Amino acid sequence: MSRTRWAAKGLALLGLDVDVVARKLPGGTLYAALAAYVVSESRQVVELILPIEQRMALAQSNAVGVVRLPYVPVAP
């Protein structure tokens, strides 16, 4: 998929990586293979900058309920 098509879907590409936020299910923990891509984490939410090809591993994780884009504040 081209960079323009990614942008049209609202995904922020950082080189060949994508910035996403995943809401963890209660008691859920991410696969150890994804730990290297974690930017920040709380009990319920984890932000990752991961290679595009790792999206499926994140989506298939039984610890993740929802994946979304990070919120970006906008000045009025």
| pLDDT class of 14 with cuts at 50, 70, 90 | low
Q: What percent of the chain has pLDDT over 90?
A: 14
* The token pair that represents 25 in the structure block: 């299910």
Whether the CB-CB separation of 58 and 33 falls below 8 Å is answered with no
| pLDDT class of 55 with cuts at 50, 70, 90 | confident
pLDDT tens, position by position, 17-52: 888 899 999 887 788 888 899 999 988 899 999 888
39 vs 33: CA distance, rounded Å: 14
Residue 9 has pLDDT above 70, yes or no: no
